[in-house]
């Protein structure tokens, strides 16, 4: 239209007064524009929240604390979730050192917490380091309430430390997808089957939905990864130097010894 107006001569048109809108209507229009602007900014904030990872870590932590509070009370629930966070941060720190992209820690009430890897580590040795980093930092974290409990005789701190030691010891079970299963990738992958069998027996003796979930996930993951070892890429992935294999075994066995001793020292006889 602008080009046409430049070509054709324009005739002056009589100017008629435009009808005036009521002030109330104009005011409502302004409010609508302002509301639209606020809604747009609020939508942008909502889209930004997942990137800030506020809902994935802090939010799920609060939900877990609220869930555990129903059974243990707020102080113990908060302490337990903090110990979970310390454990998961061990994985996060090592994943960053290995250059592996991962999600923020996510807490699931009554199932614990998890950090999702967006890609696999470059080899089984790196995977073992990532797997053991959680129990290493988690053990150090459990030593804090243990020291307080042993120094003061407080059953609260001793019980919190005991649960922390047990949590990290349980994760060292040599079955995927637990941390012990990650360590076995560099030590002895055949131990996955021994760990799976032990977990199956434990599930039969002490039926528990968490154990059933581990069996389902671990069974599929073990079968998939064991079959993948036959490929050239799989063989390279599981190729670990003997010295590195011994180092992983030393850390693994040492952690089990420390955690078992910690549980023995912080065990509190429950009085009814």
Could you give the number of structural domains in the chain? Answer: 1
Rounded distance, CA 127 to CA 244, Å? 12
Confidence of residue 111 (pLDDT cuts 50, 70, 90): confident
Q: Is residue 16 situated within a structural domain?
A: no
Q: Which percentage of the chain shows pLDDT scores above 90?
A: 62
**Mean pLDDT over the full length of the chain:** 82
Q: Average pLDDT of 198-213?
A: 92
Q: pLDDT per residue over 17-67, tens digit each?
A: 444 444 444 444 444 444 344 334 333 433 343 444 545 788 899 999 999
Q: Is residue 18 situated within a structural domain?
A: no
pLDDT above 60: residue 4: no
Rounded distance, CA 23 to CA 126, Å? 70
Q: Is residue 3 situated within a structural domain?
A: no
Q: Is residue 157 situated within a structural domain?
A: yes
pTM for the predicted model, two decimal places: 0.77
Whole-number pLDDT of residue 33? 42
Whole-number pLDDT of residue 271? 61
Whole-number pLDDT of residue 135? 97
Q: Which percentage of the chain shows pLDDT scores above 70?
A: 79
Rounded distance, CA 162 to CA 164, Å? 5
Q: Is residue 232 situated within a structural domain?
A: yes
Q: Average pLDDT of 72-76?
A: 96
Q: Is residue 5 situated within a structural domain?
A: no
Confidence of residue 163 (pLDDT cuts 50, 70, 90): very high
Number of other residues whose CB lies within 10 A of the CB of residue 145: 24
Q: Average pLDDT of 11-20?
A: 41
pLDDT above 80: residue 118: yes
The whole domain housing 212 covers 26-266
Q: Is residue 248 situated within a structural domain?
A: yes
- Shortest CA distance to 103 belongs to which of 61, 53, 47, 58? 53
Mutual angle of helices 124-152 and 155-170, in 10-degree steps:
170
Q: pLDDT per residue over 220-270, tens digit each?
A: 999 999 988 888 888 899 999 999 999 999 999 999 999 999 999 999 877
Q: Is residue 262 situated within a structural domain?
A: yes
């Amino acid at each position: 239209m602008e080009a046409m107006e430049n070509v054709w001569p324009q005739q002056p048109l009589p100017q008629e007064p435009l009808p005036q809108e009521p002030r109330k209507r104009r005011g409502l229009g302004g409010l609508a524009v302002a509301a639209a602007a606020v809604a747009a900014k609020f939508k942008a904030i909502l889209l930004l929240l997942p990137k800030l990872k506020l809902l994935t870590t802090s939010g799920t932590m609060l939900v877990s604390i609220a869930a555990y509070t129903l059974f243990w009370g707020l102080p113990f629930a908060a302490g337990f979730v903090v110990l979970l966070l310390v454990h998961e941060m061990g994985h996060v720190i090592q994943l960053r050192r290995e250059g592996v992209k991962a999600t923020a820690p996510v807490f699931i009430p009554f199932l614990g917490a998890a950090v999702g890897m967006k890609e696999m580590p470059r080899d089984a040795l790196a995977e073992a380091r990532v797997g053991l980093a959680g129990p290493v930092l988690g053990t150090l974290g459990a030593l804090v309430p243990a020291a307080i409990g042993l120094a003061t005789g407080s059953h609260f701190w001793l019980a919190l430390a005991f649960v922390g030691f047990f949590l990290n010891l349980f994760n060292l079970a040599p079955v995927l997808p637990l941390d012990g299963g990650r360590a076995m990738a560099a030590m002895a992958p055949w131990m996955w089957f021994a760990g799976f069998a032990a977990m199956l027996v434990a599930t039969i003796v002490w039926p528990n939905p968490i154990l059933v979930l581990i069996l389902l996930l671990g069974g599929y993951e073990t079968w998939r990864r064991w079959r993948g070892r036959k490929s050239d890429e799989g063989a390279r992935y599981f190729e670990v130097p003997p010295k590195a294999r011994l180092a992983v075994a030393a850390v693994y066995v040492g952690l089990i010894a420390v955690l078992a001793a910690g549980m023995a020292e912080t065990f509190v006889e429950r009085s009814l």
